[in-house]
Amino acid sequence: MHSYGYAATLSAELNQHSARSRVKTSSRELAATGGGTAVPKIENGPPAKSDNKHDRILHAAIEVFAENGYFNSRISDIAKKADVADGTIYLYFKNKEQILMAAIDYAFTIFMNAAQTEMATIADPRERLRRLATLHLESLGANRGLAMVFQTELRQSAKFLSEFSHHRLVAYFDLIRAVVRDGQANGQFRKEVSDKIFANCFFGALDAITTSWLLSERDYNLGLAADAIVDVVMNGMENRK
């Protein structure tokens, strides 16, 4: 798999987004195919000594929401963690709800840029799904606070979840469905299986294993579960004729 130097690539792309990303990569998270790009991460904690107060607020919000829960978190808590004045937050956001959605959008934009770029470099639909699962789990596994916000705080409100689903999650599902349709077109996947149902099963398995990891008393590498999940899901999808 060709390496693109993700840190630079994603930074350039996200400069066009209201929240500029700070991407951290690790060589140990290369694709199993023997090359590939490292998984982009949102670093834990506010960017140290960063002049970008917007980014510091988003990083701080993720930590505060993960530690205290969305409803128990205060604007002043976020401001303190980000090392800004309380009033500074209101220069960027109207309220706590807007901060939560911006933080989630910030993180998801980084993930989707990575996923879309990598999918374009892999021809085999099965390997594309395998890499997508790895990106999903390693991105959340690299930042427990972020995973907590995605898996719990986002779901505390039907409004939050609906907004995220309509504006962001649909793009992720469309990416999965496109891979499935490619596999069906070339005869690798069973044509009678709905790509929509498969996307729900695929995402649901990744979602469930992430929640299990968060609830576990034992810390382990979440990304290592990707291969097993893809194998289980694909056993019902591959055309064995």
Average pLDDT value for residue range 47-57: 72
Domain that holds residue 207: 6-235
Computed from CA positions of residues 125, 131, 135, 138, in that sequence, does the dihedral angle turn out positive or negative?
Answer: positive
| pLDDT higher than threshold 80 for residue 161 | no
Within-domain flag for 30: yes
The pLDDT score that the predictor gives to residue 200 is 92
Within-domain flag for 21: yes
Residue 203 · residue 172 · CB < 8 Å: yes
The pLDDT score that the predictor gives to residue 213 is 93
Location of structure tokens 């907590």 = 148
What percent of the residues of the chain are helix, what percent strand, and what percent coil, each to the nearest 5? 65, 5, 30
The tally of domains found in the chain comes to 1
3-state secondary structure of 179: helix
Within-domain flag for 154: yes
CATH code of 86's domain: 1.10.357.10
Within-domain flag for 240: no
The pLDDT score that the predictor gives to residue 117 is 93
Residue 150 contacts by C-beta under 8 Å, 6 or more apart in sequence? 104, 107, 140, 210
| pLDDT higher than threshold 90 for residue 127 | yes
Within-domain flag for 75: yes
Question: Mind listing the pLDDT tens digit for each residue in 180-201?
Answer: 999 999 999 989 999 999 999 9
Within-domain flag for 241: no
- Measure the CA–CA gap between 75 and 87, rounded to whole angstroms: 9
What does the angle CA 121 – CA 122 – CA 126 come to, to the nearest 5 degrees? 160
Highest mean pLDDT among 34-38, 156-160, 172-176: 172-176
